[in-house]
Amino acid sequence: MSASETLVVETAARVLADLADPQTIVQKRDDAWKAPLWSSLQEIGLDLAWASETAGGAGASLGDGFGIIREAGRAALGVPLAETLLAGWLLDRAGLTAPGGPMTVAPVRPKDHLTLDKTGRVNGQARMVPFASDVEHLVVLATGDEGPSVALVRTADCKLKPGKSLASDARDTVEFANVLPVHRARLKESGGREKDVLLLMGAAVRAQQIAGALDRILELSVHYSQQRVAFEKPISKFQAIQHSLARLGGEVAAAASAAASAADTIANTSFDDDAALLEVAAAKIRCSEAVEVGTGIAHQVHGAIGFTDEHILHRFTLRLLSWRDEFGDETFWSLKLGELITARGARELWPLLASR
């Protein structure tokens, strides 16, 4: 990590620690913390770190943005910072300027598709769109006669059916019926993978969030095991607890490694390279698998207290389980990975793996 990336990540960590501390949020039980947090993020330019300066952003590197997203995962952040970063990145790839304020993207599910008619209006349905009811603008990837295009759409021009994730974050169904975009432009070439570019980048983003949140629940679990006393000694002294924490540590390390490798590949190669698909698919699969194991261990270590509203563990585990299924679950990416390997042939499998 370069010095500039370290500075950006440290700044993000400080802002989130000061204004989005999970324990403070749980105790206050309201959303008053969101406005000052977003104001601070905008003031520093963290919300549009991936958008170029000419497009109204900070022009930070992909590494900077992934570092910010990992810190957002460590905070179990319940505001659309990751989605706004992703929206700014998508707008920038089409040469469009980002508006102010939080944004989200659509579609986020592999089977959902949006279309552009001959007049440039957006049609279709996008399910489980993160924070759609909390933002003024959506950035959508839609397919028309000229191929995939990026469109900036007002949320008020769409029909929303409210929904919630496991963590009670907005996950809304958005209906696009002849919606006229504020701006639209053809997506820059991505080597034939234009229609998958949002899924690929979104999966890499969710992998980073998962890695960050898993790292934090490991810290919480280790700390709690050292404080909780049973039979006159900390439960961290019991072999069964030590074994569980060691396994959790292994899952966290595997998820962090996979997510970091995918982020590094995206930062240094194009989406038309098979390496990008290989790394992103592997990262989303491995991180999603780690969620299942990691959340279970964390709650086992914490016992009943981890399920209570007063404890912060549920802020992490419920979001982890939600992020696991977004931008393609492990089944979807396993099939994609299988298709890639099958298409290349058996003789290319080892060279492909060895190249990573």
Tell me how far apart the alpha carbons of residues 336 and 183 are, in angstroms, rounded to a whole number. Answer: 32
Crossing angle of helices 313-324 and 197-227, rounded to 10°: 150
The whole-number pLDDT of residue 2 equals 56
For residues 336 and 277, the answer to whether their CB atoms sit within 8 Å is yes
Torsion of CA 265, 267, 272, 274, to 10 degrees: 0
Q: Kindly provide the residue ranges of all beta strands, DSSP E only, lying in the chain, ordered along the sequence.
A: 103-106, 114-116, 122-130, 137-144, 147-154, 159-161, 171-179, 183-186, 229-230, 233-234
Regarding whether 111 and 19 lie in a shared domain, the answer is: yes
Q: Which tens digits make up the pLDDT trace of 268-321?
A: 888 878 889 999 999 999 999 999 999 999 999 999 898 898 899 999 999 999
The CATH number assigned to the domain holding 211 equals 1.20.140.10
Domain boundary pick from 162, 186, 210: 186
Residues 226 and 342 reside in one and the same domain: yes
Find where tokens 């950035």 sit: 139
What pLDDT is stored for residue 239 in this prediction?
94
Low-confidence ranges of the chain (pLDDT < 70): 1-5, 189-194, 356
Range of the domain at 348: 194-354
Q: Measure Cα distances from 54 to 48, 58, 64, 179, 333 in Å.
A: 12, 9, 18, 27, 35
Residues 222 and 340 in one domain: yes
Per-residue burial over 78-112, b = 16 or more CB atoms within 10 Å of its CB, e = otherwise: bbbbbbbbbbbbbbbbbebebbeebbbbbbbbbeb
The domain spanning residue 113 has which CATH number? Answer: 2.40.110.10
The owner of tokens 């707008």 is 91
Contacting residues for 345 by C-beta, under 8 A, at least 6 apart: none
Q: How far is CA 115 from the centre of its chain?
A: 24
How far apart (Å, rounded) are the C-alpha atoms in residues 152 and 344?
Answer: 37
Identify whether residues 170 and 220 lie together within a single domain: no
The three-class DSSP label of residue 176 is: strand
Query: Are both 218 and 97 inside the same structural domain?
Result: no
Instruction: Say whether both 174 and 222 belong to one domain.
Output: no
- The upper half-sphere exposure of residue 11, i.e. CA atoms within 13 Å in the direction of its Cβ, equals 17
Contacts of 290 (CB under 8 A, 6+ apart): 210, 214, 251, 252, 254, 255
Please tell me the predicted confidence (pLDDT) of residue 189.
64
Could you give the CA distance from residue 186 to residue 65 in angstroms, rounded to a whole number? 24
Number of domains in the chain: 2
Residue 53 DSSP one-character state: G
Q: How far apart are CA 24 and CA 178, in angstroms?
A: 43
The counts of H helices and E strands in the chain are 11, 10
One domain for residues 203 and 256: yes
Structural domain ending residue among the three candidates 186, 213, 241:
186
Do 156 and 214 sit in the same domain of this protein?
A: no
Asked if the peptide bond before residue 130 counts as cis, ω within 30 degrees of 0, the response is no
pTM, two decimals, is 0.94
114 and 200 share one domain: no
Residues 165 and 232 in one domain: no
Q: What is the spatial distance between Cα 23 and Cα 181, in angstroms, rounded to a whole number?
A: 40
Name the nearest CA neighbour of 142 among 119, 166, 165, 159: 119
| Structural domain ending residue among the three candidates 152, 186, 220 | 186
Q: Which pLDDT does position 347 carry in this prediction?
A: 83
The burial of 234, by beta-carbon neighbours within 10 Å (0-12 exposed, 13-18 middle, 19 or more buried), is given as: middle
Residue 176 and residue 210 share a domain: no
- Based on the fold, state whether residues 79 and 153 are members of the same structural domain: yes
**Nearest one of 152, 125, 128, 129 to 140, comparing CA atoms:** 152
